[in-house]
């Protein structure tokens, strides 16, 4: 988005590229439904080689995680009653997110109307994390809703109930704490200053090239030296630091002194003027690791309105937590805790929180 507004500050070719990117993003903003897919264009060996450069002995990335990251994708789609650029949170009537691995969906989430839907491949995720969960078939009937979740079935929860639970967990009620403060945000004037600062930093360090085919496909490539670009961008933000909702000091040129200054590029693909893909080539940032390819890829499409899955079981958050403690914690503690009844007076000298 910053690149789309910065190219106009440079050469004639940059001006043309900037206008095309600006038009492409504007078309996206006019849509009511939009979908994104994010993945890494790389292989597991390259990821493990990159990780080995930074990891201490014995802390290297497991092969299972590298396989997931290299072959996995994150898909997001959303639908609004208004054009995206005019939409606030209340305007989005449906959203969906899916994390997929080499063998299919690992986690799915949908928000449709007043309901939140979810399902998870708990067995696969548990194995990848090195903390396998018990099979759903081994859990007692009392595990209920949590048992269905472990079995990979769709469950649905009330959006209103989840929001109320979130407010209660903030500590505002019962613990005597103050109401949580509003999320930090930027006013319009500060947003403009921020954008202008980034535009100037990018325009002075990024070069654009364009190429196109006969089928309406066009590529716009933005290239810049990595260390120089990030250093200049943060330097441009320093005068605005007091106006930004950040808690720590901004990094300085000294913090980036050891960062590679090799040139990295972002390739924007346009089809008939519409943005379809952004690929950021990061392979050149590898130091000694042998990397075949390493790029972060974002694919964009108009998308369809997410729909509620069939056969979802209605549950409450209390059902899920109760099932977890019954089926997992209880099983793990066994006779040491779960099977030992509390006698009258056991908590007599305990401190009461509320």
Task: Say how far apart CA 263 and CA 285 lie, in whole Å.
Answer: 8
Residues 267 and 298: their CA atoms lie apart, in Å, by 10
Q: Which two tokens stand for residue 301?
A: 């499409």
Q: What is the pLDDT of residue 108?
A: 95
What is the Cα–Cα distance from 244 to 109, expressed in whole angstroms?
A: 32
User: Hey, how many other C-beta atoms are within 10 angstroms of the C-beta on 137?
Assistant: 8
Contacts 24+ apart (CB under 8 A), 306-310: 306/77, 306/78, 306/79, 306/94, 306/95, 306/96, 306/110, 306/111, 306/112, 307/94, 307/110, 307/112, 308/110, 308/112, 308/113, 308/115, 308/117, 308/156, 309/110, 309/117, 309/119, 309/154
* Separation between Cα atoms, residue 309 and residue 307, nearest integer Å: 6
Residue 339, pLDDT score: 44
Parallel, antiparallel or unpaired: strands 115-120 and 104-112: antiparallel
Of the candidates 299, 219, 315, 208, which has an alpha carbon nearest to the alpha carbon of residue 267?
Answer: 219
**Token reading at 169:** 């967990």
CB-side exposure of 286: number of CA atoms within 13 Å?
Answer: 20
Burial bucket for residue 47 (CB in 10 Å: 0-12, 13-18, 19+): buried
The one-character DSSP state at 345 is T
Is the pTM of the predicted complex or chain greater than 0.85? no
Residues of the chain with pLDDT under 70: 1-15, 142-143, 169-186, 213, 246-248, 323-354
Q: What is the pLDDT, as a whole number, of residue 126? A: 80
Per-residue burial over 261-283, b if 16 or more Cβ lie within 10 Å, else e, is eeebbbbbbbeeebbebbbebbb
Indicate the SS3 state at residue 197.
helix
What the block records as the tokens of 201 is 């930093």
Q: What is the pLDDT of residue 20?
A: 84
For the stretch 101-130, pLDDT in tens is: 888 899 999 999 899 999 989 888 887 777
Helices 122-129 and 63-71 pack at an angle, to 10 degrees, of 130
Helix 317-324 with 159-169: angle, nearest 10 deg: 70
Tens digits of residue pLDDT in 214-269: 788 999 998 999 999 999 988 888 888 888 776 667 888 899 998 888 899 999 99
Contact partners, residue 186, CB within 8 Å, separation at least 6: 194, 243, 244, 245
The Cα 255–Cα 142 span in angstroms is 54
**CB burial class (10 A; 0-12, 13-18, 19+) of residue 58?**
exposed
Which of the 8 DSSP states describes residue 85? Answer: G
The helix (run of H) or strand (run of E) holding residue 191 is helix 188-203
- CA-to-CA distance for 247 and 11, rounded, in angstroms? 37
């Amino acid at each position: 988005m910053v690149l789309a507004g910065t190219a106009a500050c440079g050469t004639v070719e940059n001006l043309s590229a900037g206008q095309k990117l600006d038009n492409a993003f504007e078309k996206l903003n006019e849509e009511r439904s939009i979908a994104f897919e994010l993945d890494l264009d790389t292989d597991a060996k390259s990821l493990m080689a990159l990780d080995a450069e930074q990891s201490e002995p014995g802390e290297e990335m497991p092969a299972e995680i590298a396989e997931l990251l290299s072959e996995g994708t994150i898909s997001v789609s959303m639908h609004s009653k208004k054009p995206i650029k005019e939409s606030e949170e209340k305007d989005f009537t449906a959203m969906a997110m899916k994390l997929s691995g080499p063998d299919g969906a690992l986690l799915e989430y949908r928000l449709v109307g007043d309901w939140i839907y979810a399902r998870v491949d708990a067995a696969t995720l548990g194995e990848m994390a090195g903390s396998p969960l018990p099979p759903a078939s081994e859990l007692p009937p009392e595990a209920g809703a949590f048992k269905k979740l472990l079995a990979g079935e769709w469950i649905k929860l009330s959006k209103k109930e989840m929001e109320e639970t979130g407010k209660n967990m903030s500590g505002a009620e019962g613990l005597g704490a103050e109401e949580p403060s509003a999320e930090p945000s930027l006013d319009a004037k500060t947003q403009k200053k921020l954008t202008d600062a980034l535009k100037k930093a990018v325009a002075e360090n990024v070069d654009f090239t364009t190429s196109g085919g006969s089928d309406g496909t066009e590529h716009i490539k933005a290239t810049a030296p990595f260390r120089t670009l990030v250093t200049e961008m943060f330097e441009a933000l320093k005068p605005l630091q007091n106006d930004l909702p950040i808690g720590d000091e901004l990094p300085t040129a000294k913090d980036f002194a050891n960062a590679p200054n090799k040139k990295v590029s972002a390739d924007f693909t346009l089809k008939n003027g519409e943005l379809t893909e952004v690929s950021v080539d990061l392979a050149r940032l590898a130091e000694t690791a042998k990397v075949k390819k390493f790029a972060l890829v974002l694919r964009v499409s108009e998308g369809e309105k997410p729909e509620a899955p069939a056969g979802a079981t209605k549950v409450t958050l209390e059902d899920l937590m109760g099932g977890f403690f019954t089926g997992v914690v209880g099983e793990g503690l066994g006779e040491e805790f779960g099977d030992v009844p509390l006698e009258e007076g056991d908590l007599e000298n305990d401190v009461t929180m509320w």
